[in-house]
């Protein structure tokens, strides 16, 4: 879990660097999503229906990422970077909360080390620190960023990530359990594959895309 938290910080910094380059640079995020799709396809222990569900799930996340980027253009980097920062806060504080207070398993058959106490601590800190982060942030101006950083609504995006990120991790664990594997691949030797590193992002970006749809009609 500590490795996951540390790599979360690395990915957040990488996304910050990627999304502050040329206008097309955020699309580089599609490369690891292709990696996730490839890993689902290579899980031969899954039947064709299970692999199809995994691929569809990944494609929905990829479409959600593209939809956010094409809708908000200059703010895409801000949005994606914020998602990774919030996931990193959630993972890190859930790890600390689990180590200090963990008693009740969250999903013992899928992820024995995760606890309800850790998830609650992670969620609360994501909500508090995430809201504070968004309120003080001076990001590119768009309807999304104005909405997300407005004190009255700054809690919405952190709340989505606080609830969804732990379950995104469990979804990835469920697929790996069905495939009877510990790691989805060897993208980073000793740290697993693309799915191991981006499982929380997949579900989070889908829900954030739904949130931005609400913002568009609000």
Instruction: Locate the domains of the chain by residue range.
Output: 2-217
Q: Are strands 111-115 and 105-107 parallel, antiparallel or unpaired?
A: antiparallel
On the question of pLDDT at 208 being above 70, the answer is: yes
E strands within 71-141?
105-107, 111-115
Q: Which of 141, 133, 154 is nearest to 84 (CA)?
A: 133
Q: Lowest-pLDDT range, 27-36, 94-103, 120-129, 187-196? A: 187-196
- Tell me the pLDDT band of 52, cut-offs 50, 70 and 90: very high
The model's pTM? 0.83
8 Å CB contact between 143 and 215: yes
Q: What is the mean pLDDT of residues 133-139?
A: 74
Mean pLDDT of the chain: 81
């Amino acid at each position: 879990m500590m490795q996951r938290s540390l790599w979360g910080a690395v990915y957040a910094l990488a996304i910050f660097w990627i999304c502050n380059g040329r206008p097309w640079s955020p699309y580089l995020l599609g490369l690891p999503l292709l990696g996730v799709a490839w890993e689902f396809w290579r899980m031969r222990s899954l039947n064709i229906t299970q692999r199809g569900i995994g691929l569809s799930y990944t494609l929905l996340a990829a479409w959600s990422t593209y939809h956010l980027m094409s809708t908000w253009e200059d703010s895409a980097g801000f949005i994606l970077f914020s998602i990774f920062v919030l996931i990193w806060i959630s993972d890190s504080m859930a790890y600390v909360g689990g180590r200090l207070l963990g008693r009740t398993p969250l999903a013992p058959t899928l992820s024995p080390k995760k606890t309800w106490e850790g998830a609650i601590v992670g969620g609360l800190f994501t909500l508090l620190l995430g809201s504070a982060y968004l309120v003080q942030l001076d990001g590119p101006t768009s309807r999304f960023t104005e909405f997300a950083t407005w004190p009255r609504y700054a809690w919405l995006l952190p709340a989505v990530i606080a609830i969804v990120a732990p379950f995104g991790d469990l979804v990835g664990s469920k697929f790996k359990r069905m495939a009877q594997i510990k790691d989805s691949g060897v993208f980073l030797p000793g740290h697993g594959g693309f799915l191991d590193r981006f499982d929380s992002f997949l579900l989070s970006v889908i829900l954030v895309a739904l949130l931005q749809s609400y913002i568009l009609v609000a």
